[in-house]
Amino acid sequence: MKKILGYICTPFFYLAFGLILAIFHLVQVICWNLWGYKAHKISVDIFNFMLVKSLGIMGASVRFEGFDKLPQNKPLIIIANHQSMFDIPPIVWGFRKHHAKFISKKELGHGIPSISYNLRKGGSVLIDRKNPQQAMEAIRRLGRKIEDHNYSAVIFPEGTRSRNGKVKKFKVGGIKALLEVSPSAYIVPFVVDGNYRLQESGAFPLSFGLKLSYSVLAPFNPEGLNAEDVTERSEYLIKKYLGQL
């Protein structure tokens, strides 16, 4: 029955998803050009809330947990596993009070309504994965920004999506670059659970009736730890939560 509902509901989901992207692209442009960053951020928060809610068309239940654990008035380095393109909206919405900024490949900076515009204007950084020097400098620039403004940086240290939900080995480079320039940041291990199953059959049909959860694990102060320790600890905590040890 769920497979049939997937076939029926997927076109409606894609229609809603596309309309949200198109409408909020225009909204973002207006907010940015007339009122600047603060108005633009509000539009982005609402945009991502709408994307999360649109998953209800696919019968998905969405759970956020642990956000009450987040330290206030501190920069955050959010270390997350990566399962799907659908990981981004719940992160933006869940961490909206902490101004989440992303490290994204440069290809995403153009061609995607709303998303590309937000990456370019909202304070995230676009990296060239074929140019390590440029990538590290962009990441350090983001680290300095979160340090100065008590924002948060989101990093997916697997480097790419896990299409079967199994957490890949975390890479230390980006985390090390952030820690070097944001010494007061707290580390926030963050678990995405279930998003990979949305596209188990490919882009069509999407899976129906999934339980999706987005969980903040206990933040910790990295003082006294090197980047390798922070990376290994975050990977361990996320794998443990997912039962993948």
Query: Does the structure show a pLDDT above 90 at 215?
Result: yes
CB 216 within 8 A of CB 71: no
Residues in the chain: 245
Whether pTM > 0.85 for this model: the answer is yes
CB 219 within 8 A of CB 69: yes
- For 101, phi then psi, to 5°, come to -120, 145
Would you tell me which CATH number, out of the four given (3.40.1620, 1.25.40, 1.10.10, 3.40.1130), belongs to the domain 2-241? 3.40.1130
Query: Does the structure show a pLDDT above 90 at 129?
Result: no
For the chain, the domains span 2-241
Angle, helix 37-54 to helix 2-35, in steps of 10 degrees: 170
Distance linking the first and last C-alpha atoms of the chain: 33
Name the band, by pLDDT with cuts 50, 70 and 90, for residue 125.
very high
